[in-house]
Structure 1
Amino acid sequence: MSSNMIDRLRSKKSARSLNDKDKVLRKLSPVECLQAAHYSLGAIIGCAISCRYRIPKALLTSDAAAFQVIVENALARAILQHPLFTVGRINTDSKKQYWVRLDQIDLKNHIEWRTVSDQEAYESILHATLEWQVNEPYTNLETQPGWRAAILQSTDSNFIDVVFAWDHTAADGKSGKVLQDSVFTCLNTPDDNAVIFRDRVFEIPNTELTPPLHHLIKLPVSLHFIVGEFGRDIIASMKAKELPHMATWAPIPTEPSKTSMVAMQVTKKALKPVLDACRQHGTTLTGLMHALIAVSMAKRLAEIKASAFLCGTPVCLRQFQKPGHPSIDLNKTAINSVAYWPFTFDEDLVAKFREQINDAETQRDMSTGLEATVWSSAKAIRDGLSAKLDLGTKNDHIGLAKFVKDWQSFVKDHGKTRSYSWEISNLGVIQGKAEGEGDNWAIESATFTQTAPTFGSALTFSVISAKGGDLTVTNTWQDGVVEEELALGVSSDVEGWLNELGNTGSIRFGAVEMSS
């Protein structure tokens, strides 16, 4: 008997035995299967969100063990609010994977505490922790939920950093923000003894698993759309390398590569004027960032390498929840609920960028033309995203997911060439401030980051801010696939331009050498 057949029999036996014990909850939804395929291929590990929590003064003198219990109790209560963070996943190498009920969670397998004595090294250690989280695969997914947390504290500091990381199969980027919102609320809410610990182990109540996305949101597709998209898919696969926007400068690696990360900051002083300028120009921060990244890419990559760019924006679908599940508020639920919206900076626009970049570099007062083009591009992106949202979920690619039966083959077949040069995932603002002026926990800053996908965008920008704080943007890329000089250069450009816009009201596009 072949080893593959033995593995299949084992998988079936595992599913049956679990089903006999009422452990099998449901099959993965089509959207979850897509993420699971990326995970199985090592193409995407997951996401991570770090929040810096200011500790109430009353707890600063707490015994270390007692303080740990308070934080872990809040985290456990938060986890129990999100069923997809309490389940296991079986048959992970099969076409039919299942979520299974777990009886308990042992925090020894999920939470690491770390005290950093070298204050000068603290930020670099936090950075390394975030980078590790989006590179390290999860273990024992059959018996442990796919999440983990690292809690960092500097000696004698008045804050902790809670780094929450999770397998993208279970939930999207906003889900991590929702989880941190839950942690914040639980920290500021008296313990109701809902969670009983025994040596850092707590029981999971028998609650209903979050339904699959297509049970919560209508995803209708017309026959005309289905035929048109499959036709386009065939043509694109035949002519992929001929399309001007293809990111051939970032080839698909034969094996998954390590994700590297750089973080950028837009100061809270500069952030409000930037957002005001976006509103005045009929766009959003996401639209402006796309346009600025395009300018930086246009001047850092030679035309022979990139004559056009395709970029992507994950769009949250939670607002389209249909009636029928009154107990579920998707805006407060961990789930995969995003569609992907593309935008092309075509050859004419990129050529215009390059011409205006040259003018700005050779003549002192010629940045205004490029700035105007940036704003018009940013507005076009905002208008496109608004039109997408006005259409709702009808005839979206996510509605075609139900037709795919073998997701690993699908991902590999569609991942032979890279289409997207970059994407921007913008989670917006995490509140993190309790009502009133009492001695409460508060979120002072936040950082969001993701695995750089093997088959997806060459650069992945992740955006978040805490209320009243700086804006943090991370950029991730694959080592050996994207040149570090390019990734760091684009990041530096965007950070500098956004802060300059916020501080001076305009952007001067300085000289940058193009790579060959």
Structure 2
Amino acid sequence: MGAYKVKNNGGTETTTVLRKFGINETYQLAMYLLDQYRGTTLSCRYEIPPRLASPASQTTLEEGVKVAVVDTIMRHPMMQVGMIDATKKTPSWIQLPSLNLTQHIKWVHLTAEDDFEHTVQETFSTQLDDRFPDLSIRQPGWKITIIRQGSAPVMEVLLTWNHPWFDAMGAKVFHEDMIEFLNALEDGKSYERTGLDGHVFTLPQAAPLLPEPIEVLTGLPVDLKYLVKAFWEDTRPGFLDNRDGSWAAWCPIRPTPYKTQFRTFFVDEPSVAKIQALCRQNQTTITGLLNGLALVAFSLNLDAAVAPAFQSSNIVDHRRNLPPAPKDAPWVKSDRAVSNYVTQCLHKWDTELAARVRSKLPPADASVEGRDLSPVLISELWAASARNRREIVDKLGQGLRNDLVGLFKYVTDWQKTMSSLAKKTRQFSWLVTNIGVLDGGKQPDDDSQKRWTIGRAQFGLSTEVPAAAIEFSPVSVRGRGMTVSATWADCAVDVTLGERIMADMERWLVQLSSQA
């Protein structure tokens, strides 16, 4: 769909409409409008080159960051656009004339007495639940918060965004590209940018080329058998959900009060390397292992009478299934597009499997030491993890045939659909959304030429009211370790339960790495 113009304000203003929302974008917007979702954050610990770390260089540092953000915006047009008709059935992306960067970039300067780590975690948690400005004001739905303490050689860069604009893989690309542009400035490139006047960036007059929605690029074929099954799942009487013990009836959907509980833990690089080696030996991946660990943790912490079986979901990135990017696309490659190209892979952990796992568990009230995985339970863990990985591989091998997003094209009113979903039985006990390994740049052999790098990352989702009870969000930085985060609705999941599950998963990862 090409750009066209609509008149506003009695014909005195024209707005260039770039294209209508795609399926994923419309679905995410409906959740936001219904307050079933608020924001997603990917935070990275940027390591600052020595020449920019001194207090005297703070102005130069801030100017360089601003220029690198502008360069990244120009590579990724979805970061330049606003929306119109947000509450209608067919919202659209529109071209904006300019961006006021004070609305998108905020610096937080801490004193020596402030607790840097506490501030980072508190800011991260708060931003997950923050609402964005009213959609009618027409500005992109993303913001960057930068936290720095004195002249410390690091700063935390939190990118928080509204999901209709792009997915978490897009946020990962943003951070990787920003490091690239910061290092380009270090290599002597000018800080001058066409259109940048102070904090106002005038966007090019030519309409930007937006990434096309996934259904336009690949099609979403749905077989009749798959469609009929999905229709039955959507319309069957609610009492049947309770008969199917895999549904998360133990965690009723409660839309209010809206508050996200956020927890996180870190696994150092030597431990990650050992865990990855074990995963390869057992024909699985970190994602598969986290699903296996979740199965064991939920089985341990929930009684069989309450949760005899489970369903879970993996977020799957389909950029690998997209055709090559257009020749004039500034993002160059399809796997570097900042847009919405993820779908879900669903998993069912039946009653027989859950019972077998439970038969090998320690008592739920066992001491910390007594909650370690036994050899027979480790065997079950690897079998479940390998199965999860095979199901994801099969899903990717099918491309987008019989994909959940393919069913979405039959939805005519997303707000009505999502409102109805919030009144049904919850389907998933947990979700894993792993954006993989972030390339944080590499230092040259000559330390005197120290460059910008990322030393650590952290990823989290706000509460998604009708989605999984607990959502796990791991992310790694190449050669620097992995952070595993979890979020859940405060009004739906008991805090003690969420913390026990996270503590068990952390303990078991440490145990596995120590035995490798």
TM-score (norm. length: structure 1)? 0.90
Q: Report whether the alignment pairs 1:367 with 2:365.
A: no
Q: Report whether the alignment pairs 1:313 with 2:324.
A: no
- The one of 433, 440, 444 equivalent to 1:425 is 433
Distance 1:269 1:290 in 2: 21
Paired residue secondary structure (2:468): coil
Q: Report whether the alignment pairs 1:50 with 2:50.
A: no
Distance 1:239-1:298 versus aligned 2 partners, 3 A rule: same
Distance 2:144 2:10 in 1: 32
Q: Report whether the alignment pairs 1:477 with 2:488.
A: yes
Counterpart residue number, 2:301 = 300
Q: Report whether the alignment pairs 1:439 with 2:467.
A: no
Distance 1:380 1:504 in 2: 22
How much does 1:428 deviate? 1.0
How much does 1:15 deviate? 9.8
Distance 1:439 1:454 in 2: 44
Distance 1:374-1:120 versus aligned 2 partners, 3 A rule: farther
Distance 2:372 2:105 in 1: 54
How much does 1:410 deviate? 1.0
TM-score (norm. length: structure 2)? 0.90
What is the 5 A alignment of 1:305-384?
305-323=306-324, 325-326=326-327, 327=329, 328-358=332-362, 367-384=374-391
How much does 1:302 deviate? 1.5
- Deviation per residue, 1:465-496 (Å, 9 max, x gap): 11111210110111121011111111111111
Distance 1:451-1:373 versus aligned 2 partners, 3 A rule: same
Alpha-carbon contact 2:67-2:193 (below 8 Å) kept: no
Q: Report whether the alignment pairs 1:147 with 2:142.
A: yes
Distance 1:439-1:204 versus aligned 2 partners, 3 A rule: same
What is the 5 A alignment of 1:103-142?
103-118=97-112, 121-142=115-136
Counterpart residue number, 2:508 = 497
Counterpart residue number, 2:280 = 279
Distance 1:373-1:152 versus aligned 2 partners, 3 A rule: same
How much does 1:243 deviate? 1.8
Distance 1:221-1:435 versus aligned 2 partners, 3 A rule: farther
Alpha-carbon contact 1:267-1:470 (below 8 Å) kept: yes
Q: Report whether the alignment pairs 1:249 with 2:253.
A: no
Residue identity matched to 1:188: N
Alpha-carbon contact 2:195-2:203 (below 8 Å) kept: no
Distance 1:355-1:16 versus aligned 2 partners, 3 A rule: farther
Distance 1:14-1:263 versus aligned 2 partners, 3 A rule: farther
Taking every aligned residue pair, what percent have the same amino acid on both sides? 29
Alpha-carbon contact 1:42-1:256 (below 8 Å) kept: no
How much does 1:45 deviate? 1.3
- Which range is displaced more, 66-75 or 219-228? 219-228
Distance 1:475-1:288 versus aligned 2 partners, 3 A rule: same
Q: Report whether the alignment pairs 1:454 with 2:461.
A: no
Distance 1:410 1:16 in 2: 34
Residue identity matched to 1:98: S
What is the 5 A alignment of 1:384-395?
384-395=391-402
Counterpart residue number, 1:163 = 158
Counterpart residue number, 1:265 = 266
Q: Report whether the alignment pairs 1:30 with 2:30.
A: no
Listed as ranges, the gaps of 5+ residues in structure 2 are: 1-5
How much does 1:435 deviate? 6.8
Listed as ranges, the gaps of 5+ residues in structure 1 are: 1-11, 506-516
Alpha-carbon contact 1:317-1:337 (below 8 Å) kept: yes
- Deviation per residue, 1:195-250 (Å, 9 max, x gap): 44323111112322222222222322233432332233323756223220121222
Residue identity matched to 1:197: L
Distance 1:194 1:132 in 2: 33
Residue identity matched to 2:179: F
CA RMSD of aligned residues (A): 2.3
Distance 1:338-1:352 versus aligned 2 partners, 3 A rule: same
- The one of 185, 204, 216 equivalent to 2:180 is 185
Paired residue secondary structure (2:492): coil
